[in-house]
Amino acid sequence: MGDVTDLPRLVVASANPHKVAEIGLVLDGLVVLEPRPIGLPDVVEDGETLEANARLKALAICKATGEAAVADDTGLEVDALGGAPGVYSARYAASNGSGAEGDAVANTTRLLYELASIPAGRRTARFRTVALVCRPNGSELVASGTVEGYIAAAPAGDGGFGYDPVFVPVEGDGRTFAEMGEEKHAISHRGRAFRDLARRLIGT
């Protein structure tokens, strides 16, 4: 592409350093990302869908900065649990009092407990990400990405974050996302969503 000044510029709504780093790796050379301004209050993610939560976050940052903002929301959908934790993935443990909101270890522990009696062949799941850009003029772009997989019997690997230590993508070689490191970006839900978003941005 051309000079960096020609690239779309977006303020990242997320304050999660792991997520921001992942987004930066996926969009490197395609979009210029600006950090979320320090001191902005957290956005209450009380939407009923991943898209609604992404919109809440992007719109709040867009209004606060006057710049185009990008946000995403991700859910882990486990078939044996009726699609749970889904939109409640980040607060799965908090919803039953077994951990604090955003506590990845507690969330994973509850997930494995819920699946303890489920055999390997029925532990199918998918990660789904919705990425959304809000612009000051009120327009928006929405993109999504999904990766199919299954939940491992126990955590493995120390890379990634969230449920990565227990999610094994079917397109991989049997390793969890946490064991794959940066390799996961080529097939991950977030990678797919943000590459799709970048294509849409470049085309507008």
pLDDT tens readout for residues 127-173:
999 999 999 999 999 999 999 999 999 999 998 889 999 999 999 99
Reading the block at residue 53, the tokens are 């939560």
The gap from C-alpha 148 to its chain's centroid, in whole angstroms, comes to 14
Query: What are the tens digits of pLDDT across the range 102-131?
Result: 899 999 999 999 999 999 999 999 999 999
Instruction: Tell me the C-alpha distance between 172 and 149, whole Å.
Output: 9
Contact predicate 91/102, CB 8 Å: yes
Of the residues 28, 72, 73, 158, only one is catalytic, namely: 73
148 in Cβ contact with 124 (< 8 Å): yes
Q: Which residue has the tokens 């509850």?
A: 110
46 is catalytic: no
pTM of the model: 0.89
Position 105: which residue type?
V
Domains of the chain: 4-202 (3.90.950.10)
pLDDT tens-place string over residues 44-81: 888 999 999 999 999 999 999 999 999 999 999 999 99
